[in-house]
Amino acid sequence: MASITEPVLPQASEMLLFAQDVVMAFGGIRALDHVSFWVPPGGAVGLLGQNGSGKTTLLNVITGQLLPQTGSVYFDGREMLGSKPDVYAKVGISRVFQSVQVFPRMTVFENLMVAQLGSGNSDTSADFTHSVLKRVDLEDYADVMTRDLSYGHQRLLEIAMALAARAKLILFDEPTAGLGNDLAGRVIACLRELNASGTAIIVIEHETNVVFQTCDVVWVLNEGQVIARGTPDEIRNDRQVLELYLGKPKT
């Protein structure tokens, strides 16, 4: 059964990421209301929920953009809350889309070098950079000025930057939003390949199928609380989820 009545917490030390009992309030609104959330090493975790349910806020807490009123966030067993931004890159947390910095007046190749150096990845060889470009199908764009890339290619570059940084966990906030079928398919393929090669991912999507296709565990947030957690099949068939989220008529 996917709906959660009595959450049983796993051992924090067994998880790559473990957020415990997080409360993040804005004025009177609790965007996160005692949320505990975890990602095992190499896991692929999806996050669903209606607009305003707290998904982006949870990512912001995980990546240190927001400091919650209560709770803890452990990464690789280390408490992250209060750490400086550069610490997040160094421990191997990377975020793609919305907050990743791409330098428009640098080439694709140069952007990757920046990502490699910023993360403390010691392999700064051109061979490594080219191998990363190959993995996202951008080899032909190495010398292109980033500002001249299409929107979709820019997204692939952002995935490449996370790869170049050798991130252990990459967070994706609506990775296929605004993309046509072709590029959305490529992004989905990249996410799966990335995860298959051992990188843990968190995927937020409005488009539930993207999460169902890329993740092995899916969490559902509603009004700042976790209401369900399960495999894609369990979540697809969960009555409470259907009523509260998936089954709601589109407006």
Ligand X SMILES: Nc1ncnc2c1ncn2[C@@H]1O[C@H](COP(=O)(O)OP(=O)(O)O)[C@@H](O)[C@H]1O
Q: Which stretch binds Mg ion (CB under 5 A): 13-21, 54-62, 96-104, 162-170?
A: 54-62
How would you classify the pairing of strands 200-204 and 44-48?
parallel
Q: What does 146 bind: Mg ion, ligand X, none (CB cut-off 5 to 8 Å by kind)? A: none
Let me know: does 24 contact 57? Beta carbons within 8 Å: yes
Residue 60 in contact with Mg ion, rule: CB under 5 A: no
Residue 54 in contact with ligand X, rule: CB under 6 A: yes
Complex with Mg ion: residue 56 or 195, whichever CB lies closer: 56
Q: Which residues make Cβ contacts (< 8 Å) with residue 29, sequence separation at least 6? A: none
CB of 208 to ligand X, least distance (A): 13
State phi, psi for 81 to the nearest 5 degrees: -60, 135
- Taking the CA atoms of 49, 52, 58 and 59 in sequence, report the sign of the dihedral they define: positive
Inter-axis angle of helices 126-135 and 151-164, to 10 degrees? 130
Complex with Mg ion: residue 160 or 171, whichever CB lies closer: 171
CB of 24 to Mg ion, least distance (A): 13
Q: Which residues pair with 201 in a beta bridge?
A: 44, 170
CB of 133 to ligand X, least distance (A): 31
Q: Which residues make Cβ contacts (< 8 Å) with residue 125, sequence separation at least 6? A: none
Q: Which stretch binds Mg ion (CB under 5 A): 7-15, 19-27, 56-64, 94-102?
A: 56-64
Interacting residue ranges for ligand X, rule: CB under 6 A: 26, 29, 31, 49, 51-57
Interacting residue ranges for Mg ion, rule: CB under 5 A: 55-56
